[in-house]
Amino acid sequence: MDHGMVGSAQSGRLLVEVREEGASAVVTPAGELDHHTADLLREPLDDLLGKGFSRLVVDCSRLEFCDSTGLNVLLGARLKAEAAGGGVHLAGMQPVVARVFEITGAEAVFTVHGSVADALAGEGDGTD
């Protein structure tokens, strides 16, 4: 498996790390995902999709907050990934972030996993 770090971006409130894991890319946002920080997540997701990664795993275990702008970034990436034959998998959501997905109904359109390992174990399982 390729565990190479592809890149990272940071503002005062959000750090985004990206790494390749086999046929998947793992994106780890840490901090607060909102109107002011959303581009820090949107840009690496778009870059990965542009490079041909259609299966994206978003490790939400270090995400402390997500507002509607952040949710829209993830929904947009999901649409692009699905159009390319893949999908966006969410992993390790904290309760405060999971609640946003529950309230908005967005949890129904994503594949949600307990951990990144679980999401990666499903690679090629047809859930994309």
- The separation between the first and the last C-alpha atoms of the chain, rounded to the nearest angstrom, is 20
pLDDT tens, position by position, 36-92: 999 999 999 999 999 999 999 999 999 999 999 999 999 999 999 999 999 999 999
pTM of the model: 0.88
DSSP-derived 3-state class of residue 45: helix
| Backbone phi and psi for residue 36, each to the nearest 5 degrees, phi listed first | -80, -20
pLDDT tens, position by position, 1-44: 344 445 555 557 999 999 999 899 999 999 999 999 999 999 99
